């Protein structure tokens, strides 16, 4: 339940889309869609797909899941087309459906440990470089704990490359190791960090995802 409450706390009412059609054209398209016009549906699909997909992907960090959710969204739009009111914001209508779908998705995540682990594994490396991480005391502690459980050498190499932004070539010269060895250490370190986070800090990672989603334009 905490994950669900967190979803509503962060998503709020800031769901905004940048569209390339004006209000008059949108009104016409929605009216045609109500009457079963497939060309109007396709136009709306291509107009809204990218911004909606981008926002959903920013949360789930999984291309297949994001695409599946958006396809399901537009299937619902087609099924509910006769209920559309051209005088009511179509964007708000999409927001409502998307809101409910992502709510259901996170409710499923909260009950499915495998799905939760997959979601976190896909998101962890992204958030190593996200400003959101710096804004969250809990998330900083998560990363600190995860890095501290690495071996001393891997901790040094990981910090040098991933947190200080040094190249593998620089690390190779600095630590007297081959680039291939540096790459191996980083790969194994990321795997260990992902596993640590997935095991201990599901809620914090979800908070980061939702916080980032909330701040998108």
The 10s digit of each residue's pLDDT in 6-29 is 333 333 333 444 456 778 888 999
CATH 1.10.10.10, the chain: domain bounds? 116-215
Residues 4/106, Cβ–Cβ less than 8 Å: yes
Q: What is the pLDDT of residues 170-180, one digit of tens each?
A: 999 999 999 99
DSSP per-residue string spanning 134-186? HH-HHHHHHHHHHHHTS-HHHHHHHIIIIIS---HHHHHHHHT--HHHHHHHH
Q: What is the pLDDT of residue 128?
A: 53
Average pLDDT taken over every residue of the chain: 76
Predicted confidence band of residue 217 (pLDDT cuts 50, 70, 90): very low
pTM, rounded to two decimals? 0.52
Q: What CATH number belongs to 2-111?
A: 1.10.1740.10
Residue given tokens 């999409």 in the structure block: 94
The tokens describing 187, both together, are 């790969």
Q: What is the pLDDT of residues 29-40, one digit of tens each?
A: 999 999 999 999
Cβ neighbour number for residue 100 with a 10 Å cutoff: 12
Q: Is pLDDT of 189 > 60?
A: yes
Q: What CATH number belongs to 116-215?
A: 1.10.10.10
**Percentage, residues of the chain above pLDDT 70:** 66
**Helix or strand holding residue 52 (H, E):** helix 38-60
Q: What is the pLDDT of residues 79-138, one digit of tens each?
A: 999 988 888 888 888 878 877 787 777 777 666 666 666 666 555 555 555 554 545 566
Q: Is pLDDT of 45 > 90?
A: yes
């Amino acid at each position: 339940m905490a994950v669900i409450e967190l979803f509503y706390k962060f998503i709020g009412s800031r769901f905004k889309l940048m569209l390339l059609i004006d209000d008059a054209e949108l009104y016409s398209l929605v009216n045609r869609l109500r009457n079963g016009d497939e060309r109007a549906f396709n136009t709306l699909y291509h107009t809204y797909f990218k911004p909606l997909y981008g926002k959903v992907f920013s949360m789930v960090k999984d291309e297949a899941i994001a695409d599946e959710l958006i396809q399901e969204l537009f299937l619902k739009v087609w099924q509910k087309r006769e209920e559309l009111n051209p005088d009511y914001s179509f964007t708000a209508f999409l927001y409502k459906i998307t809101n409910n779908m992502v709510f259901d998705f996170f409710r499923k995540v909260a009950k499915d440990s495998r799905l939760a682990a997959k979601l976190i594994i896909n998101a962890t490396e992204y958030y190593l470089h996200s400003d959101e991480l710096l804004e969250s005391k809990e998330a900083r502690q998560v990363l600190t704990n995860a890095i501290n459980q690495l071996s001393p050498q891997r901790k040094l190499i990981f910090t040098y490359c991933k947190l200080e932004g040094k190249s593998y070539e620089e690390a190779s010269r600095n630590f007297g190791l081959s680039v291939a060895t540096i790459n191996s250490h980083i790969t194994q370190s990321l795997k260990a960090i992902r596993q640590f986070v997935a095991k201990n800090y599901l809620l914090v990672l979800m908070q980061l995802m939702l916080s980032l989603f909330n701040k998108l334009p």
